[in-house]
Structure 1
């Protein structure tokens, strides 16, 4: 019943934040049908947009939802499932439900160090050389590479992970029925059909890409991992948002050394000043693996 309730809430348009607001009420019990419990919930009546979602909730057929998901090889995972990643549970308001496609056991690989690699969409040759060099020198280690399947550094991280036979997880900022940007769609398909790949999303499959989804997605990228590496980042960039979230989540944070005259690594230098570790070799990351693998 818990899975069915969370699926119906998700498909009705209730976000993770909405779900936490509703579930703060002790009368709402996911072990029973939530519709009667929500009927008189003060938030449902106080917020017109939530009331509309509640009306939609009543029209949904859970059997049809599950048939469509499983028919498209999409596996829903709740925070109450044993396969839900322990690290992700530690972040502020982790997803109560997310959707997976690919090799599901990659979610909870206890003996692997999960490393997020993020950086510029318009990366330079420096960023690509560094990713290739670092992953080649860590190819003997139990490592999972996590990124966001965006153009540029994200795509490089996934490709070099597969090239070096690392498992890799892509966190999407939209539902599985969509993709953005188009240039990384073939890579995503490869990840979802190989034993080394998995994609996950907090959003139901029909959810289109939206600007505000990507910062939400970034907290999951860092939340899944023990460490986050930024290869190249301008002074203001999405990669630094992920790094800042990693700091808030008490993760290991790494940056490549930057050039004071290069705008592409200005953000690296600023975060290094604030305490991020500068990576000069694979050993700078490997040293943390012995103490951080759970």
Structure 2
């Protein structure tokens, strides 16, 4: 369950009936998510103690340190950003420019709301109704696919798209990009989850793909628009990719692939994990073979996944 669901009973329902209070709490969540010196876990604690998020704005740095056991340096940074008018103005500007979905909004994905460490804020471009679409399958894999990868995806992913399955991936090089491109080419539905803000698309070679998905599908990120890509963002965003889906399909992965992080997230979230076998001569198949040995479902055709939908 997400942290919000542990807050005082009935407050969320009450909040959604009071539009004025809802907008205030939404702005505060977006604001807190951008403050330095604190983590998502800290914001979850604030929501549990004060769902209106009003009281924290009245605290001094010393009170923040004492009340939340936050180091003084962190408390000072946090206090500074809490009362930074320029930061508040940037947030108000972004609220006008982008679709911003918070954990208190009705449009927040119901399946994503059940995972550990659910994102508090999602910036969106495109069709946000896809957040509630089912079935959704995450399709992931190596950034350096083998020559067989396209054939594997056409054999397995295309039939799933014809069955109106939504494809979720991370718009990275390799398998991720192929998954989105196949979905778009087939007129299917797709969601891309980024590891950076909308002003810093990565990799740059996918800027055109980014715009196509924003027009025909949905692009999501939990990072504010001006946030550049950094290494730890990508494993962090993987929990969103797996969290949006009922299952995760691994097309190809090396033994030490970053793809395995998403698989671990999916298993931790109670999602299904599927893996496609391949030639043992290709290093890109070794990770999939290991997953199958460890209990992932072997997939050699779309029907192997579709039978789990029923």
- Cα deviation, residue 45, structure 1: 5.1
- Cα deviation, residue 139, structure 1: 3.3
Task: Give the equivalent residue in structure 2 for 1:66.
Answer: 92
Distance in 1 (CA, whole Å) between partners of 2:60 and 2:44 is 13
Pick the aligned partner of 1:139 from 156, 161, 167.
Answer: 161
TM-score by length of 1: 0.89
Q: Is the 8 A contact 2:136 2:167 kept in 1?
A: yes
Task: Give the equivalent residue in structure 2 for 1:275.
Answer: 295
Residues 119 and 68 from structure 1, CA distance in 2 versus in 1: closer, same or farther, beyond 3 angstroms? same
SS of residue in 2 equivalent to 1:169: strand
Distance in 1 (CA, whole Å) between partners of 2:273 and 2:112 is 16
Distance in 1 (CA, whole Å) between partners of 2:160 and 2:119 is 30
SS of residue in 1 equivalent to 2:279: coil
Task: Give the equivalent residue in structure 1 for 2:76.
Answer: 51
Alignment of 1:69-148 (within 5 A): 69-71=95-97, 74-109=98-133, 112-148=134-170
Task: Give the equivalent residue in structure 2 for 1:152.
Answer: 174
- Cα deviation, residue 21, structure 1: 4.5
Alignment of 1:1-294 (within 5 A): 1-13=24-36, 14-23=38-47, 26=49, 28-30=50-52, 32=54, 34-37=56-59, 40-42=63-65, 43=68, 46-60=71-85, 62=88, 64-71=90-97, 74-109=98-133, 112-194=134-216, 197-290=217-310
Residues 37 and 82 from structure 1, CA distance in 2 versus in 1: closer, same or farther, beyond 3 angstroms? farther
Q: Is the 8 A contact 1:116 1:222 kept in 2?
A: yes
Residues 47 and 157 from structure 1, CA distance in 2 versus in 1: closer, same or farther, beyond 3 angstroms? farther
Q: Is the 8 A contact 1:172 1:199 kept in 2?
A: yes
Over the aligned positions, Cα root-mean-square deviation in angstroms equals: 1.9
Q: Is the 8 A contact 1:145 1:167 kept in 2?
A: yes
Q: What is the aligned length?
A: 282
- Cα deviation, residue 118, structure 1: 0.5
Q: Is the 8 A contact 1:177 1:205 kept in 2?
A: yes
Distance in 1 (CA, whole Å) between partners of 2:263 and 2:254 is 13
